[in-house]
Amino acid sequence: MTEPSVPLVRTILSCRCPRCGRGNLFNGVLSVHPRCPACDLDLRQTDTGDAGAVPIIILLGAIVGGMALWTEFRFEPSWWMHALLWPTVTVPAAIWLMRLSKSAMIAMQYRHRSTEMGL
Ligand SMILES: [Zn+2]
């Protein structure tokens, strides 16, 4: 097994390749490059599935739901204010958390199941 030289937390937070730490992991909002653009690590073998989405749905739903209730009872804004505010908060937060989650799963798979990633 190749020992990764990049710290795990930095790899996850920067959404970079788990092996070299230079290549960007994503080639879109949430789609992963098939190979690392910097070191050519084969990323097609990674499988993040739905494991990253479920905790984010639960956590973000609880936080945003709680904030919406608190805002409603505290400030009593009109309905259109809720319709404008919560998607503006929720969509970018969900995308950011999904990117971190996918990055974490790929980094952990690289660290612990690297033989299945063709290494
Ligand atoms: Zn790389």
Alpha carbon of 57 to ligand 1 centroid (Å): 29
Alpha carbon of 4 to ligand 1 centroid (Å): 11
Q: Where are the domains of the chain?
A: 8-117
Given the structure tokens 């990117």, which residue do they identify? 99
Alpha carbon of 74 to ligand 1 centroid (Å): 48
d(CA 65, CA 37): 39
What pLDDT digit, counting tens, does each position of 41-55 carry?
Answer: 999 888 888 888 888
What pLDDT digit, counting tens, does each position of 26-44 carry?
Answer: 999 999 999 999 999 999 8
Nearest 5°: phi and psi at 26?
Answer: -105, 140
Cα Rg for the chain, rounded, in angstroms? 18
What pLDDT digit, counting tens, does each position of 59-107 carry?
Answer: 999 999 999 999 999 999 999 999 999 999 999 999 999 999 999 999 9
- CB-CB neighbours of 35 under 10 Å: 14
Query: Biggest alpha carbon distance in the chain?
Result: 58
Alpha carbon of 43 to ligand 1 centroid (Å): 9
Alpha carbon of 111 to ligand 1 centroid (Å): 13
